[in-house]
Each structure stands twice: as structure tokens, then as C-alpha cells.
Amino acid sequence: MSDLTIRVGDHTLRATWTDDAPTTRDAIADALPIAGEASRWGDELYVRTPVDVPAENARETVPVGAVAYWPQGNALCLFWGPTPASDGAEPRAASPVNVVAEIDEVAPLRSLSGGATVSLESAK
């Protein structure tokens, strides 16, 4: 069962919370809904959030489908492929991120040609 509904442009995605960064996850859950114009960096979208928490089990390389909080930019990031920081096909953040959720299906993100409006809310 999905915990989050993520809308990216015309696409609706589902995501499930992870236990990698529970304090960060809870802060984001408390701030939902979160919405804004996302910027694109390779196969990553990031959107600013009102959340301000420190690094928590942070890492630069993340799995495809990761939803992560970027402490340096106070932003939520969606990863579906390589970024300019990647050495290969793996998603790599510009600096360490706190992984908080995993997107069930990333295929719709591959059709994006630029930035997009992104919204995250609790799944109902």
C-alpha cells in the first residue's frame, strides 16, 4: 500500500515511506502537502520545501525511485536515473541526501523533457 501520492505534471505516482531517515520522514509527513515548480538536474527533479532538518543517514548515491530530502537545499528530490554527478547509471545527488520514500513506478518520469510542477500529499 502506498503512503504518498506524487503528482509530476500530468503523471500521478505512488511512493512508500522507508525507514532510512525516520526523523526526516516524519518532518516531511507533517509538512504535507508540499507543492511547487521543480527544477531538473539530469534524471532528478527537486522542489523546495518548508522542512529544515539536518543530514540523517545521508548518502550521495541512491536507488532509482528514491524520494530524498536534500538538507543543503531544503528540497525534496525525485531520482529516476543518472545525474551530472553520476559515474554511471546510478542516481547520485549533488551532496548527501536523506532517503525517505521509494517511488513504485518511475517510468512516467522518463518522458519528462524539463522541469515540472510537483506536488506530494498523503495517499488516501
Q: Using one digit for the tens of pLDDT, what is the confidence trace for 60-106?
A: 999 999 999 999 999 999 999 999 999 999 999 999 999 999 999 99
- Whole-angstrom Cα distance, residue 104 to residue 5? 10
Residue 79's identity, in one-letter code, is F
Give residue limits of the domains in the chain: 4-113
Q: Are 93 and 42 in contact (CB under 8 A)?
A: no
Tell me the per-residue pLDDT of 38-62, one tens digit each, with 9 for 90 and over.
999 999 999 999 999 999 999 999 9
CA 48, distance to chain mean position in Å, is 11
Q: Please report which residue ranges of the chain form alpha helices under DSSP H.
A: 22-31
Q: Which fold has domain 4-113?
A: Cyclophilin (2.40.100)
Q: Which of 94, 86, 89, 124 is CA-nearest to residue 106?
A: 89
